[in-house]
């Protein structure tokens, strides 16, 4: 299972949040002088992403890959405060890349990815979670916001 989780991590977020923006910036004729303040959101995003991948593996008994989703609804860690922290982490990484490279193409890619994430969550992941986890999902969905974290954590047994 660890190898499946590692492979999913390397195939999905490393490509989307690492390889693609790096290549887009490398060939962007419109980029300007970037700013290293982008390392802050990039680092925070990477921390969030790794934490969430770990929670999917440990609590969810699955991976972040669509072909090997978690077997359990993950409501621990950052998932207590926001329903999609992994996507938030990837978007922070992309924002960091956009600031570091000052690339309008990387910024456009980041906006495209936000849109893609939004529709993936609304049209695929949330309906799947409702079918798979039923009442547990509905309680979670009604108590935890989709994108912007809340300070109050979700504790279903309390």
Domain range summary for the chain, segments of one domain joined by +: 2-143
**Is the pLDDT confidence value at 98 over 90?**
yes
Short-list 63, 97, 78, CA closest to 145: 78
The model's pTM? 0.91
**Is the pLDDT confidence value at 48 over 60?**
yes
State pLDDT tens for residues 104-157.
Answer: 999 999 999 999 999 999 999 999 999 999 999 999 999 999 999 999 999 987
Give the pLDDT score at 39.
97
Give the pLDDT score at 11.
72
CA distance readout (Å), 114 to 76, 92, 110, 111: 24, 10, 6, 5
Identify the helix (H) or strand (E) that includes residue 65.
none
Residues in Cβ contact with 72 at an 8 Å cutoff, skipping those fewer than 6 apart: 59, 60, 61, 62
**Is the pLDDT confidence value at 7 over 90?**
no
Give the pLDDT score at 97.
96
C-alpha 52, offset from chain centre: 8
Q: How far apart are CA 147 and CA 125, in angstroms?
A: 14
Give the pLDDT score at 1.
59
Would you say how long the chain is, in residues?
158
């Amino acid at each position: 299972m660890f190898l499946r989780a590692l492979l999913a991590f390397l195939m999905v977020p490393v490509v989307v949040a690492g390889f693609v923006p790096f290549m887009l910036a490398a060939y962007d004729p419109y980029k300007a002088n970037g700013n290293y303040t982008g390392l802050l959101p990039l680092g925070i995003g990477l921390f969030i992403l790794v934490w969430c991948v770990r929670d999917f593996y440990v609590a969810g008994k699955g991976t972040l890959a669509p072909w090997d989703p978690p077997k359990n609804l993950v409501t621990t860690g950052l998932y207590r405060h926001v329903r999609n922290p992994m996507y938030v982490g990837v978007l922070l990484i992309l924002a960091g890349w956009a600031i570091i490279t000052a690339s309008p193409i990387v910024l456009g890619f980041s906006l495209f990815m936000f849109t893609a994430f939004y529709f993936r969550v609304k049209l695929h992941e949330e309906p799947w979670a409702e079918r798979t986890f039923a009442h547990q999902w509905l309680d979670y969905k009604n108590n935890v916001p989709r994108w912007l974290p809340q300070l109050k954590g979700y504790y279903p047994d309390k």
